[in-house]
Structure 1
């Protein structure tokens, strides 16, 4: 043996370079070629990749103190809702991926952001692989963001486009599925191409200390088109969604290395572009003065944003042994759990009724602080007695019927007072919060909460 290589007949025989197989979807690596990826279970995604031999000489990596590193100054996009979802703006050298359905407004939002940044005097590079210069310029003029600092580069040649990255403060790539990376096999949009395009943009952004935003398409099942590795390569992943019948769009962060993933940005699509919605509570509350049974109000939190939510419940008698339970906007299992608590702890029979619960406006609530409002609406529907007007219900309900505290009660109460509520039912275990113009009713058990609401109305 010589240097780990066998000698046969005086001739040194070189070993074959090891081959590894990489999944184009999840990036899992293996030395065995199989038809199905052992990690994500996808079929036909393993591709060969020759592993390079490790270098015999290595240079010690640079080590710095965390105290000596100064955080970079963020770049504001000029759109407050977008900046808040990003955690305060764009980070130099950071890469953000925004995905959404076709026509939802991804390109419009980013072109508006690029125009706002260009309006401050900074140069912005807008790379489009799906539109021509005339199309992008026409849309920029319609949105009122056309500027000589807004530089357009249209085409699918990624390397040529990245050559213009010098002396710019912000770059947008629309879209990662439309560009082609030289030296990589496959057509644009294939897993290999998407991975290579994203990696080269990430490298260029970090080398030039320039923030970049990539536009990504989604598939029929709602996930970003391309390899799952794409979401791991970038620093933040945003989703832009909305219903076809509504002009409102929701921006959320699925992943964010520089901020929270709980924030919600709301925009309204108009002829002049996407307009941020400042008063979001008006989207989910019709402010009706009519007293209707089965309706209760609560203040939910989406990140740091308080939202007034209207919970509606309908109860109807049934002759079938298995009554129907339907919930929209609240998890069905949670609804069934609260129904069991109402029946067991409060003595309200539910087994003889079909029950339907809905959160008005299409809002989806994951916040457990809506439990008390859901129980109040359910009890009101079962008794067919409206709840007192001007009341909101804030509390988590346990299986024993106890009313538990909620997070950030002060923010919720101030929002309730701003919206004109006069009474708030909360847990007695909350800290003593006082808000001018708002009566605080503290309860420890669900029975006390329902007595405070229903008995007063019945009287």
Structure 2
């Protein structure tokens, strides 16, 4: 059994524990991530009471219920879960507290008793925001203090618990200041234990580091059931909510919000965010339909190829990886005979969308060819396909659903892979191509 105030050293990146100080973590290889922590007498291990295993047969799944915000329910996999712990991360000022106060107001309005714990703001600040958002309703209670033990003591018949934020809270079970790896881990464990034992849905707010990951030990993300990231451009009113981990659903859904004076509002037509609906054709612009979970989105890919006087042309990509841009430029030069070695190439996805769908490869390649040849693509044409190293066009998933969205928005023609085997909707004229060279010729760029 550990003695009182025994010292150990733990890595806040991976959770590795050592009895002696080290400069570099032997497990994850991170420099300077191993910090000293004290093991107090209250944290000594105790003999657990005997427990017996449970049979899987007959166990009922936890009950789900709506948060009152459809976009959040979509990302969560259908709603909040009894006893489920969600970690919500995002940049300062992105709208995390706004989103959660709106959720708390909706739940309190539907009859649930909600406890909102704030370790960073005063009661008057939280009340002012609640009034602005219309969340100042009966059933919503606030606890503004950094003592998580005191917050959990007042938790009685509440149906939902929100802790904002886990880095601002402190528990007496561990030493150190709020925000240290030891305190963050201990605070999260206290909240998780209460959530699981009482079946209370719990949301923990987490800060984001400059590297874009949730601050604190990486173990924190393994402890919770769901990890959500709230992001958006500083100059834009639009926000994107994604799940990077979800034990109760998938991680491929995305929620889209718009920040307004009275809080966050769901975006009614997501395709309008990433497509300017221009009627005039411009060289270097191609349109595709990508899948964000079960939702099809029309995305506009832009490319600019300009002559350079420098020996090393510049390559810049925004919205997809730079390696993807280099790969497609090599395929275009090898398979289509179009050299871009003397051109600076800039590529962008309009609206700030981050494209991970391989079905956008063809649109990016055609935008590059269009800009390099200074010929515009038809404005009513969308392009769907994955481009291989030998220039072949491969089929993508859910093509009928993508084409239905394209037809709804007025597209008349679609270029797809010749190997596409699904039955496609008749609303759009489909051009089937086997290679990138065929695709270039089919739209008049050859």
TM-score bucket (shorter structure): over 0.9
- The whole-number CA distance in structure 2 between the counterparts of 1:397 and 1:66 is 45
1:54-80: CA deviation from partner (whole Å, max 9, x where unpaired): 85x973x32223231111111210001
Q: Which residue of 2 aligns with 1:30?
A: 18
- The whole-number CA distance in structure 1 between the counterparts of 2:322 and 2:285 is 18
Asked if the contact 1:380–1:454 (Cα under 8 Å) also holds between the matched residues in 2, the reply is no
Q: Which residue of 1 aligns with 2:379?
A: 389
Select 2:437's aligned residue among 440, 443, 447.
447
- The whole-number CA distance in structure 2 between the counterparts of 1:238 and 1:442 is 39
Asked if the contact 2:319–2:348 (Cα under 8 Å) also holds between the matched residues in 1, the reply is yes
Q: Which residue of 2 aligns with 1:89?
A: 79
Asked if the contact 1:36–1:45 (Cα under 8 Å) also holds between the matched residues in 2, the reply is no
Q: What is the root-mean-square deviation in Å for CA atoms of aligned residues?
A: 2.3
Select 2:281's aligned residue among 266, 283, 291.
291
1:151-182: CA deviation from partner (whole Å, max 9, x where unpaired): 12221222221123221111111111222201
Identify which range, 109-118 or 88-97, moves more after superposition: 88-97
- 1:16: how far off? 9.2
**1:260-271 alignment runs, 5 A limit:** 260-271=250-261
- The whole-number CA distance in structure 1 between the counterparts of 2:45 and 2:247 is 33
The structure-2 alpha-carbon separation of the partners of 1:351 and 1:205, relative to structure 1 and needing over 3 Å to count, comes to same
Select 1:195's aligned residue among 151, 167, 185.
185
Q: Which residue of 2 aligns with 1:425?
A: 415
- 1:274: how far off? 0.5
Answer with 1 or 2: which has the greater Rg. Answer: 1
- 1:226: how far off? 1.8
Q: Which residue of 2 aligns with 1:21?
A: 8
Secondary structure at 2:351 match in 1 = helix
Asked if the contact 1:325–1:354 (Cα under 8 Å) also holds between the matched residues in 2, the reply is yes
**1:188-267 alignment runs, 5 A limit:** 188-267=178-257
- 1:53: how far off? 7.8
Identify which range, 104-113 or 157-166, moves more after superposition: 157-166
1:354-404: CA deviation from partner (whole Å, max 9, x where unpaired): 222111112121211111111111221222111122100000011111100
Q: Work out the number of aligned pairs and report it.
A: 441
Identify which range, 398-407 or 186-195, moves more after superposition: 186-195
The structure-2 alpha-carbon separation of the partners of 1:296 and 1:98, relative to structure 1 and needing over 3 Å to count, comes to same
- The whole-number CA distance in structure 2 between the counterparts of 1:42 and 1:21 is 17
Asked if the contact 1:34–1:46 (Cα under 8 Å) also holds between the matched residues in 2, the reply is no
Asked if the contact 1:391–1:424 (Cα under 8 Å) also holds between the matched residues in 2, the reply is yes
Secondary structure at 1:454 match in 2 = coil
Asked if the contact 2:416–2:433 (Cα under 8 Å) also holds between the matched residues in 1, the reply is yes
Q: Which residue of 2 aligns with 1:6?
A: none
1:272-315: CA deviation from partner (whole Å, max 9, x where unpaired): 00111121111111101111111110011222221111111122
- 1:46: how far off? 4.0
- The whole-number CA distance in structure 2 between the counterparts of 1:156 and 1:52 is 24
Secondary structure at 2:157 match in 1 = coil
Select 1:343's aligned residue among 321, 330, 333.
333
Runs of 5+ consecutive residues of structure 2 not aligned to the other structure: none
Q: Which residue of 2 aligns with 1:74?
A: 64
TM-score (norm 1): 0.90
Q: Which residue of 2 aligns with 1:161?
A: 151
Asked if the contact 1:37–1:46 (Cα under 8 Å) also holds between the matched residues in 2, the reply is no
The structure-2 alpha-carbon separation of the partners of 1:48 and 1:35, relative to structure 1 and needing over 3 Å to count, comes to farther
- The whole-number CA distance in structure 2 between the counterparts of 1:392 and 1:369 is 11
- The whole-number CA distance in structure 1 between the counterparts of 2:442 and 2:420 is 17
**1:356-435 alignment runs, 5 A limit:** 356-435=346-425
Secondary structure at 1:258 match in 2 = coil
Secondary structure at 1:387 match in 2 = coil
TM-score (norm 2): 0.93
- The whole-number CA distance in structure 1 between the counterparts of 2:252 and 2:174 is 37
The answer to whether 1:148 aligns with 2:138 is: yes
